[in-house]
Amino acid sequence: MNSQAQRTDTESNREDGDNLDIYNYEDRERLIKPRNNFASYSENVDVRFRSTIDNNITYGGTEAILGYSRRLNTGNIIPGATNFLSTNYESLDYDPCENYLLQDEERKKGYKFVVKKNFARWFIFLLIGICTALIACFIDISIEELSSLKYSWLKKYVDKCAIEGCIWVPYMIWLVLNVVPVLIGAILVSYIEPVAAGSGIPQVKCYLNGVKIPRVVRIKTLAVKTIGVICTVVGGLAGGKEGPMIHSGAIVAAGISQGKSTTFKKDLKIFKYFREDHEKRDFVSGGAASGVSAAFGAPIGGVLFSIEEGTSFFNQSLTWRTFFASMITTFTLNVVLSAYHGRLGDLSYPGLLNLGKFESIPYQIYEIPLFMIMGTFGGLFGALWNHINYKITCFRLRFVRQKWLKVIEALLVAILSATMGSLMIYFINDCKPLGNDPTKFPVQMYCAEGQYSAVASLWFQTPESSVRSLFHDPKGSHNDITLAVFVILYFFLAAATFGLSMSSGLFIPSLLIGSAWGRLIGSALSRICPDSEVLDPGKYALLGAAAQLGGVVRMTISLTAILIEATQGISFGLPVIIVLIMAKWGIYDIHTQMAGIPLLPWESPPLSNNIYASEIMSHPIVALKTVENVGHIVELLKCVTFNGFPVVDPPSSDQTEINSYGRFRGLILRSQLIVLLKNKVFNEYAESWEKPLSIEMFRNEYPRYPTIEQVAITDEEKTYTIDLRHFMNPSPYTIQHSATLPRTFRLFRALGLRHIPVVNDTNEVIGIITRKDVARFRIWKHQGRMGLDELLITNK
Ligand code: ATP
């Protein structure tokens, strides 16, 4: 049906008082405070992007859709833009729908069910802990074995060819050993599951925030992520396996807690009562914490990470369970890895990242300003790194769009990594006596007998081992020139690597860059005061690492705990936190904004108290009657894309025009309507229902609901009716039209809502607000002036 025809249809519907209840907001203007003129809203406020209204667009066919289309921008978004929100990301609904079916279930099952559910929760957290650890062990052992093989070959050929003059042979071998794994990883990510690219931390953050990133917690994503991260590290890219562990933990949690796999079409028929967004979110936060715990051996850091991302919904019992899962993870991992390394008795492998233990790190009070300066450096370097990565990402968005190009790009970076390493090893002559050498494969290269090349040792091991060397090697083990060149090369290499179509994290590369420049500072300081015992380069390497990482990812609390736990150096907590606070602000936010993900920040934009719900809401609305015609629902769902519909009592014919909205009764979701249609819960069939309706009907379909096109309804059934009152949410959070933006924002943020119907003074619904409608308001800095923007909403 074309839009013109649809509109005429709608108008005629309204004329005979039938079907679509679309209420004309303009008629009611006197009930609602008129929208402010944004330009005069404050002298200091620069409101841009007001031109989001595109009148040429006819989207769908009803007036409500036209109302939406005024916001929807279909024009081109410049690659790299951060001033838009994408309609590709739907919201999750963290507000449980407490309809009559749910109440029925609780009433029937009683306290026994409550105890069972609670027990099941703890059991699932236990499973999450164990499974996350096992995946981490698989990744670690695979990387360890393959890397050993790779670097022992390389060492053999380098040492042989340095004597025989065939140095290009090990270079070619290095190239092949980098390119093959990277090729596998890039093909997997580009062609099979693109959402497995990167570390997955931004995606997990978004999930906890309430945004549904398509396919983010699927089993296929986990498989690609696991193999992909092994390929990244074995392929010698400047990426780590730690970030992806957080994503893997989240997927494990989402999978186990649902007791079914939609991918494998297998339903174990257990844990059905956890099949809803807000229960699943709690498990995912536990899984993310387990991921951190597995990655860094930092259970407290893990819990803090989840709390930092999920403060709005965390409570004491969830914290306990999360902590339990994290502890189980680190313990399981420790047992398996210690057994693998033949030291089961020691239990000395609490995490994948083993930064070695700092026995004691003394510091003097006069060093604190130095720490602050290092933190500032970290902030600046981090910001520079983020900027370079942002520019590279813009380039990628513009030019590297096809899948095969993404694979080629990853291969080029793999070649670049091997080439940079080879050139450094070839040109920098940095020989150290054998004995102190921390690397497994000391390469002699052009050094004298009994010596090894310190440059080669930086490259011929996993980046994590290099960080360990920089932290713990004694004074003078590293040449300043080597470190300086290494920092510069690795800085650019890491910036080019993050954002490739590969699964890889940026914790390790950032730690490596930071520990290298930190060690440089430490070695310069100990040159100035050669007798000082306190100025240990290893200590400065640790602070540099913290500063660089803090500067790039801009997390403070959890990162401090992670670093303290990973280095077992609690006495050094204050310096680490000083450095991190000085370095704050983040790369994940940049990537999230570039993707147009409607993330809600912690607080509403400042100075927004004079924006009212009536100005934010969409109007007119598409509402449904409490007892609704099936054919109408089907046509409506085909015609509009909205995900929530207010349910109202139809206005009675003797009501005056001013009261004709109809009383607000509840809210029903698109997914619920589809399930009702699919199960043919029509009043006319009520006699023939075999068993009473139950909430399981919805849980069986969760989370991948069919589309309306997949539901078959006969012409006769279209004349039937559904009573929505049993299934709708009868008491959703609503807001008065006169509420301010900060108040509306707080409801969305704190309660994880997806829709809020807006009501007038007589509880009649006059509009609807979704998360995206609120996320659109952002504070923006432009040429030194601060202002409030309304971001574009685009379907690009
Ligand atoms: P999500 O996809 O996460 O639900 P969204 O904002 O894209 O978020 P939609 O339900 O697709 O949600 O709504 C798109 C726009 O239409 C929003 O601006 C919203 O305010 C408006 N809208 C939503 N439901 C209705 C409705 N029943 N009647 C009129 N407008 C609506």
How far apart (Å, rounded) are the C-alpha atoms in residues 92 and 77? 25
The pLDDT, as a whole number, for residue 514 is 93
The pLDDT, as a whole number, for residue 381 is 87
Beta strand extents in 626-784 (DSSP E only): 627-629, 644-648, 664-669, 721-723, 735-736, 755-759, 765-770, 777-782
How far apart (Å, rounded) are the C-alpha atoms in residues 644 and 732? 11
- Decide which of 133 and 86 is more confident: 133
Q: What 8-state DSSP symbol labels residue 778?
A: E
User: Please, is 269 exposed, middle or buried when counting C-beta atoms within 10 Å of its C-beta (0-12, 13-18, 19+)?
Assistant: exposed
Q: Predicted confidence band at 29 (pLDDT cuts at 50, 70, 90)? A: very low
Secondary structure of residue 471 in the 3-state scheme: helix
The pLDDT, as a whole number, for residue 403 is 95
Q: Are 420 and 624 in contact (CB under 8 A)?
A: no
Q: DSSP per residue over 580-622, as a string?
A: HHHT---HHHHHHHHTT-----SSPPTT-TT-BHHHHSB-S-E
Buried-state track 706-743, b at ≥16 Cβ within 10 A, e below 16: eebeebebeeebeebbbebeebbbbebebbebebbbbe
- What's at 322, amino acid-wise? T
> What are 418's two structure tokens?
């091997």
The pLDDT, as a whole number, for residue 75 is 65
- What's at 619, amino acid-wise? H
- Decide which of 722 and 52 is more confident: 722
Q: CB under 8 Å to 707, separation ≥6 — which residues?
A: 674
pLDDT in tens, 471-522: 888 777 788 888 899 999 999 999 999 999 999 988 899 999 999 999 999 8
Residue 588: pLDDT over 80: no
Mean pLDDT value of segment 745-763: 92
- Please tell me whether the interface predicted TM-score (ipTM) of this complex is above 0.90: yes
Residue 43: pLDDT over 60: no
Tell how far the Cα of 450 is from the centroid of ligand 1, in angstroms: 71
Q: Predicted confidence band at 207 (pLDDT cuts at 50, 70, 90)? A: very high
Range in 240-249, 379-388, 731-740 the model is least confident about? 379-388
- Decide which of 270 and 24 is more confident: 270
The pLDDT, as a whole number, for residue 8 is 37
Tell how far the Cα of 642 is from the centroid of ligand 1, in angstroms: 5
pLDDT in tens, 674-699: 999 999 999 988 877 767 788 889 99
Residue 560: pLDDT over 80: no
* Short-list 538, 555, 537, 536, CA closest to 547: 555
Buried-state track 255-264, b at ≥16 Cβ within 10 A, e below 16: bbbbbbeeee
Q: Which domains does the chain show, CATH number per domain?
A: 3-89+601-794 (3.10.580.10), 114-340 (1.10.3080.10), 365-594 (1.10.3080.10)
Q: CB under 8 Å to 394, separation ≥6 — which residues?
A: 79, 80
Q: Are 498 and 239 in contact (CB under 8 A)?
A: yes
Pocket test of ligand 1: the residue of 211, 618, 777 to mutate, having most ligand atoms within 8 Å of its CB, is 618
Q: Predicted confidence band at 657 (pLDDT cuts at 50, 70, 90)? A: very low
Strands 260-261 and 266-267: antiparallel
Tell how far the Cα of 611 is from the centroid of ligand 1, in angstroms: 19
Residue 708: pLDDT over 80: yes
Tell how far the Cα of 690 is from the centroid of ligand 1, in angstroms: 36
Q: Predicted confidence band at 438 (pLDDT cuts at 50, 70, 90)? A: low
The number of the ligand 1 atom at minimal distance from the alpha carbon of 91 is 3
The pLDDT, as a whole number, for residue 24 is 38
Q: Using a pLDDT cut of 70, give the percent of the chain over it.
A: 85
The number of the ligand 1 atom at minimal distance from the alpha carbon of 617 is 20
Q: Mean pLDDT over all residues of the chain? A: 82
Mean pLDDT value of segment 454-465: 82
Q: ∠37-39-45 over CA atoms, to 5°?
A: 125
Residue 53: pLDDT over 60: no
* Short-list 280, 281, 300, 277, CA closest to 290: 300
Q: Which residue has the tokens 């670690």?
A: 140
Secondary structure of residue 568 in the 3-state scheme: coil
Tell how far the Cα of 230 is from the centroid of ligand 1, in angstroms: 41
Range in 13-17, 44-48, 283-287, 455-459 the model is least confident about? 44-48
The pLDDT, as a whole number, for residue 786 is 78
Q: Whose CA is closest to atom 11 on ligand 1?
A: 642
Tell how far the Cα of 605 is from the centroid of ligand 1, in angstroms: 21
HEC states along 118-162?
HHHHHHHHHHHHHHHHHHHHHHHHHHHHHHHHHHHHHHHHHHHHH
Q: Predicted confidence band at 569 (pLDDT cuts at 50, 70, 90)? A: low
Tell how far the Cα of 208 is from the centroid of ligand 1, in angstroms: 21
- Decide which of 269 and 5 is more confident: 269
Mean pLDDT value of segment 663-684: 93
Q: CB under 8 Å to 708, separation ≥6 — which residues?
A: 634, 637, 638, 674, 677
Residue 11: pLDDT over 50: no
Tell how far the Cα of 643 is from the centroid of ligand 1, in angstroms: 6
HEC states along 21-68?
EECCHHHHHHHCCCCCCHHHCCCCCCCCCHHHCCCCCCCCCCHHHHHH
Range in 85-89, 289-293, 352-356 the model is least confident about? 352-356
How far apart (Å, rounded) are the C-alpha atoms in residues 344 and 352? 16
Tell how far the Cα of 304 is from the centroid of ligand 1, in angstroms: 34
Tell how far the Cα of 644 is from the centroid of ligand 1, in angstroms: 7
Q: Using a pLDDT cut of 90, give the percent of the chain over it.
A: 43
The number of the ligand 1 atom at minimal distance from the alpha carbon of 87 is 7
Q: Whose CA is closest to atom 8 on ligand 1?
A: 90
Backbone angles phi, psi at 660, to 5 degrees: -85, 20
Peptide bond into 299 cis (omega under 30): no
The pLDDT, as a whole number, for residue 70 is 52
Mean pLDDT value of segment 116-138: 96
- Decide which of 662 and 741 is more confident: 741
Q: Predicted confidence band at 587 (pLDDT cuts at 50, 70, 90)? A: low
Q: Which residue has the tokens 């981490």?
A: 136
Residue 196: pLDDT over 60: yes
pLDDT in tens, 163-176: 888 888 999 999 99
- Rounded alpha-carbon distances, angstroms, from residue 205 to 161, 510, 747: 49, 20, 19
- Decide which of 143 and 53 is more confident: 143
Q: Whose CA is closest to atom 7 on ligand 1?
A: 87
Mean pLDDT value of segment 141-163: 89
The number of the ligand 1 atom at minimal distance from the alpha carbon of 92 is 3
Binding-site residues, ligand 1, Cβ < 6 A: 64, 68, 71, 87, 90-91, 618, 621-622, 641-645, 754, 768-773
Q: CB under 8 Å to 334, separation ≥6 — which residues?
A: 297, 347, 348, 349, 350
Q: Are 716 and 685 in contact (CB under 8 A)?
A: no
Backbone angles phi, psi at 86, to 5 degrees: -100, 140
585: left (phi over 0), alpha (psi -120 to 50) or beta: left
Q: Predicted confidence band at 9 (pLDDT cuts at 50, 70, 90)? A: very low
- What's at 70, amino acid-wise? R
Residues found in the chain: 796
Q: Whose CA is closest to atom 21 on ligand 1?
A: 618
Q: Whose CA is closest to atom 17 on ligand 1?
A: 770
Q: Whose CA is closest to atom 10 on ligand 1?
A: 642
Q: ∠76-79-81 over CA atoms, to 5°?
A: 90
- Rounded alpha-carbon distances, angstroms, from residue 13 to 16, 69, 360, 632: 6, 21, 79, 11
- Taking the CA atoms of the chain, what radius of gyration do you get in angstroms? 29
